[in-house]
Structure 1
Amino acid sequence: MTQANPPIYGDSDGTLQAVGGLTGLRKLVETFYRLMENTPEFHPLFEMHPKNIELTINKLTAFLSGWMGGERLYAKTYGEINLPQAHAHLIVTEKEKAMWLNCMAAALDELGYSEELKDYLLPKLEFPAERIRQVSAAHHDL
């Protein structure tokens, strides 16, 4: 997805606009979970999710909307969230963290996003993924 005047990532809703607004974000999240479900190397992550994957898709889309500078749909719809604590019940090691990030990279690749966006977005996503891993490690004495 290329644009003549691409938004500046991290500036206001620039990152959200770079993925195609809410419609593009929803497609990215749906692609992410489809790959997670159907790719053997990512499938263990899919098994960690509730059976109602539609709700999971809605929640990640809502969270990422605000995280990418758009409307804070997660808080508006589901209430405030402490992302690491919300995942503390799961066992998340470096392996699961890498799997999650690699699955997101695969979704970005499949949808043809620019290398510049991927180079910006994936390191930014690594921060919350690492916090989730740290809280999981503390919670489960890993």
Structure 2
Amino acid sequence: MAPEQATTAYAQLGGEDTLRRLVHRFYALMDTLPEAWELRQMHPEDLSGSEEKLFMYLSGWLGGPPLYEQANGHPRLRARHLPFTITSAERDQWLMCMNLALDEVLPDHPLRPRLWGAIEGLADHMRNKADPPGARE
């Protein structure tokens, strides 16, 4: 591995194997936790395509191979999510599943706090609908 590759978050987290475990655990949690029901309803019955897309996206986002871009062009992440209603509730469900997956796959990793801050910002950026009156933000 070239020295500059070892400095990417992708490499520091463990590369493809670790990222695949994280994404797989994220979708397993989303698929089974009652608290993530609204989020789960936004996805197809078979989660394998969604899982692969998230893996590919996160690979490039973390500085690894830009798999998503190679296969699909620029992610245009927010635009691709516009057909779905994403309020604070859906964002929070997504973050809950990701946090639990991170707890299991990367519990004490030194990069986790910085990674979590970036993930929170990314998830918040996906919100595209106002919260219903009386909902917390």
Letter of the aligned partner of 2:92 in structure 1? A
Mapped partners of 2:7, 2:36: distance in 1: 29
1:61 paired to 2:67: no
Q: How does 1:14-25 map to 2 (within 5 A)?
A: 14-25=8-19
1:137 paired to 2:129: yes
Structure 1 moving runs of 4+ over 3 Å? none
Query: How high is the TM-score relative to the length of structure 1?
Result: 0.80
What stretches of structure 2 of length at least 5 have no aligned partner?
none
Query: How high is the TM-score relative to the length of structure 2?
Result: 0.83
Mapped partners of 1:58, 1:13: distance in 2: 24
- Worse overlay, 53-62 or 37-46: 37-46
2:70: which partner in 1?
Answer: 76
1:37 paired to 2:31: yes
Percent sequence identity is 35
**CA separation of 1:17 and 1:113: change in aligned 2, threshold 3 A:** farther
1:26 paired to 2:13: no
Whether the 8 Å CA contact 2:106–2:112 is kept in 1: the answer is no
Letter of the aligned partner of 1:80 in structure 2? H
Mapped partners of 2:77, 2:125: distance in 1: 8
- Aligned length, in residue pairs: 129
Whether the 8 Å CA contact 2:8–2:62 is kept in 1: the answer is yes
What stretches of structure 1 of length at least 5 have no aligned partner?
1-10
